[in-house]
Amino acid sequence: MKIEDVKNICVVGAGNMGHQIALQCAISGYTVKCTDVIPEGLKKAEDFAGNYLAGQVKKGKMEETQVKEIEKRISFTPRLEEAAKDADYVIEAILERLELKRKVFAQLDEIAPAHAILATNSSYIVSSKIADATNRPSQVCNLHFFNPPLVMKLVEVVQGAHVSDETAQVSMHLCEKMGKVPIHIKKEVRGFVLNRIIAAIKREAIWMLEMGVASFEDIDKACVYGAGHPMGPFRLNDLTGLDLSYDIAMELFRETGDMSDLPSPQLVERVAKGHFGQKTGKGWYDYTQE
């Protein structure tokens, strides 16, 4: 398959990442079907698309005729079969839980056309752990967008040993067609490129917080005003979601059994209270007054 053969895209998962990936695909000229098992999530995703596009018109960044065409290209459905049956490329963006992803990919393998590439947006679970749930392992890869997908340019295309050159090349070209900057990661490694760097910073930041070296606010200030980062690790965690960090840490702990891989006590405390970050109004910071 060549990039010219990709016309229809299916996005599985209408959450924080999925609905923006779907909208980015539609803006870039692709026919997109976004699916989710949670009706409220689908409705929220559809409302977001309408509000975002209306906002672009209001800001003068898009014409109304352009928006109408984009709206024709994107649809939302609770039925996986409806979303994937004609897909040339599938992007999965569900919870970071391996068994759930394997189940979904097995279903996609049955539904999607034989030529379709099945990609996971997972930021940590490598596609080789998912590929054997399908009969097309060479067409299963990681296509990792960064949050928020409509804004962030970087996309990591991970080519594990099982991934064909064709799959990697089509994935790279797809990102370029969407106006993104893809990087080709030639070997599977946990966390890929950028998240490995971020994880090292976050690990040190959490250690300093737990040891009482400094407050999370001051650690963030050090990164912003000393290292020139756009935001500190705790503010970034609020953006990406404390619940996601918890799931990733627990998935790693289940794999390694190493107690040091468990999420930090202060993270667990916040997740237990439902303080997941910006999306819930509270995380490390309190956004309810903003």
pLDDT in tens, the chain (290 residues): 999 999 999 999 999 899 999 999 999 999 999 999 999 999 999 999 999 999 999 999 999 999 999 999 999 999 999 999 999 999 999 998 999 999 999 999 999 999 999 999 998 899 999 999 999 999 999 999 998 999 999 999 999 999 999 999 999 999 999 999 999 999 999 889 998 998 899 999 999 999 999 999 999 999 999 999 999 999 999 998 999 999 989 988 998 999 989 999 999 999 999 999 999 999 999 999 87
195 is catalytic: yes
Please give the pLDDT value at position 251: 87
Q: What is the pTM of this model?
A: 0.83
135 classed as catalytic: no
156 among known catalytic residues: yes
Catalytic residue among 8, 195, 237, 245: 195
Provide the CA 17 distance to its chain's centre, in angstroms.
5
pLDDT value of position 285: 97
Catalytic residue among 8, 28, 92, 144: 144
* Predicted local confidence at residue 255, as pLDDT: 87
CA distances 95 to 32, 137, 193, Å, are 20, 21, 21
CB 238 within 8 A of CB 285: yes
9 bridge partner residues: 32, 89
Tell me 264's DSSP state: P
C-beta of residue 251 within 8 angstroms of C-beta of residue 226: no
The sign of the CA dihedral 165, 166, 172, 175 is negative
Please report the pLDDT score of residue 121 as a whole number: 98
Which of 92, 96, 156, 188 is catalytic? The answer is: 156
Three-state SS for 32? strand
Q: Which of 8, 16, 123, 171 is catalytic?
A: 123
Domains and CATH numbers, the chain: 3-185 (3.40.50.720), 194-280 (1.10.1040.10)
Asked if residues 185 and 158 have their Cβ atoms less than 8 Å apart, the reply is yes
Question: Is 19 part of the annotated catalytic residue set?
Answer: no
Residue with tokens 């619940």: 243
Identify the residue whose tokens are 């500190």: 232
